[in-house]
């Protein structure tokens, strides 16, 4: 009995050996072609990411030449950020390419085993359509994340305003952005829900200081005091490295409630505008006190809501 089974197997193998060898050769060819295509596509994606990074660097250099006093941000930091962004985009595109190429190769190999791949392709299309309708928000998040990275809207360490969430970006993925606010809360914001974003750490920033001087102060006497104070601040070695453009008096921006408000603006390195604003206010306070320039006090009504209380 075992001999009969052996003979039957040998006969079957002899009858189908050519088809088996042909099928194995076809499978090997499919695998090799898939690997070659994956390598070629990966190389093309790397070249595309490199060209994107080089193009961005050329644009940045052109902008720096056009406005060298404003765009003074360190090239090393900018270049490192561009490289990280290019690597992230390349990794995502390679993953998508691998999924598509190896998926097609797998389905083709199934066809070599005599499996009807028509129903499989039809089922995959129906399933893909159902997932597309059921996960529209997820697809939107991923697409928004990709465009956000391509356009370099923000990155880890940037201070951003995306609506309800305002703070420092701690992590960026294709689906969500994590933002740590001033109170320490960590916001998880879906990329598809970000309709607009204000990046406060890109290229340069302004520290805006408003001085409410007393209404009786003569501005012609106060301006030299303010100018001398901000010049001393700009010449201080502790702050000079963070200043892109020396502070200047922007002018009177408000009159009311017993005050004449004078605005001072200093252009700083991105991310330093808040600390520089605090230091400049303290420096101006000392300068005004030494010169005897009065700062305005709120004028309260004598009667009615908000009136000053005595006793």
Task: Give domain limits for the chain.
Answer: 2-134, 153-199, 205-291
For residues 7 and 179, which has the higher predicted lDDT (pLDDT)?
179
Q: Which residues pair with 252 in a beta bridge?
A: 262
The pLDDT tens digits for 238-247 are 888 889 888 8
Say how far apart CA 296 and CA 219 lie, in whole Å. 13
- With CA atoms as reference, report the closest residue to 248 among 202, 204, 206, 294: 206
For residues 116 and 97, which has the higher predicted lDDT (pLDDT)?
97
Whole-number pLDDT of residue 310? 46
Percent of the chain with pLDDT over 70: 73
Residues 6 or more apart whose CB falls under 8 angstroms from that of 284 comprise 209, 211, 226, 229, 230, 233, 264
Whole-number pLDDT of residue 209? 93
Whole-number pLDDT of residue 109? 83
Say how far apart CA 245 and CA 72 lie, in whole Å. 10
Rg of the chain taking only CA atoms, in angstroms? 33
The runs of H, that is alpha helices, within the chain are 2-66, 75-112, 117-134, 136-151, 219-235, 237-240, 273-291
* Residues in the chain, overall count: 311
Whole-number pLDDT of residue 258? 83
Whole-number pLDDT of residue 299? 66
Asked if the domains 153-199 and 205-291 are classified in one and the same CATH topology, the answer is no
**Record: fold of 2-134:** Helix Hairpins (1.10.287)
**Record: fold of 205-291:** Alpha-Beta Plaits (3.30.70)
Q: pTM score > 0.85 for this model?
A: no
Residues 190/137, Cβ–Cβ less than 8 Å = yes
3 has a pLDDT exceeding 90: no
The pLDDT tens digits for 42-70 are 888 888 877 777 766 666 666 555 555 55
Bin 257: left if φ > 0, else alpha if -120 < ψ < 50, else beta.
left
For the 153-199 domain, the top CATH level (class) is: mainly beta
The helix/strand/coil state of 259 is strand
Whole-number pLDDT of residue 74? 45
Say how far apart CA 164 and CA 181 lie, in whole Å. 10
Average pLDDT over every residue of 183-205: 88
Say how far apart CA 240 and CA 120 lie, in whole Å. 67
Lookup: tokens for 53: 């990074």
Whole-number pLDDT of residue 76? 46
The pLDDT tens digits for 101-113 are 888 888 888 777 7
The lowest-confidence range among 45-54, 95-104, 163-172, 220-229 is: 45-54
């Amino acid at each position: 009995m075992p001999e009969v089974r052996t003979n039957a197997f040998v006969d079957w193998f002899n009858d189908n050996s050519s088809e088996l060898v042909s099928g194995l050769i076809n499978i090997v060819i499919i695998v090799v072609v898939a690997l070659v295509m994956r390598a070629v596509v990966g190389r093309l994606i790397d070249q595309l990411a490199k060209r994107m990074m080089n193009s961005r660097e050329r644009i940045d250099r052109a902008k720096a030449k056009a406005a060298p006093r404003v765009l003074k941000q360190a090239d090393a930091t900018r270049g490192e950020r561009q490289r990280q962004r290019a690597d992230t985009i390349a990794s995502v595109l390679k993953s998508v390419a691998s999924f598509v190429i190896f998926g097609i190769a797998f389905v083709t190999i199934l066809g070599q085993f005599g499996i009807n791949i028509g129903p499989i392709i039809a089922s995959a299309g129906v399933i893909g359509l159902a997932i597309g309708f059921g996960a529209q928000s997820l697809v939107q998040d991923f697409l928004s994340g990709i465009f956000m990275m391509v356009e370099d809207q923000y990155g880890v360490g940037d201070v951003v305003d995306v609506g309800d969430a305002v703070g420092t970006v701690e992590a960026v993925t294709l689906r969500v952005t994590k933002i740590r606010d001033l109170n320490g809360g960590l916001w998880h914001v879906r990329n598809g829900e970000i309709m607009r974003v204000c990046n406060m750490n890109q290229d340069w920033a302004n520290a805006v200081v408003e001085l409410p001087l007393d209404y009786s102060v003569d501005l012609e006497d106060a301006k030299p005091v303010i100018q001398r104070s901000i010049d001393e601040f700009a010449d201080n070695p502790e702050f000079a490295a963070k200043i892109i453009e020396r502070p200047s008096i922007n002018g009177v921006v408000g009159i009311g409630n017993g005050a004449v408000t004078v605005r001072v603006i200093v252009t700083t390195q991105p991310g330093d505008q808040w600390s520089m604003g605090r230091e400049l206010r303290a420096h101006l306070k000392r300068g005004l006190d030494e010169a005897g320039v009065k700062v305005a006090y709120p004028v309260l009504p004598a009667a009615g809501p908000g009136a000053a209380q005595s006793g």
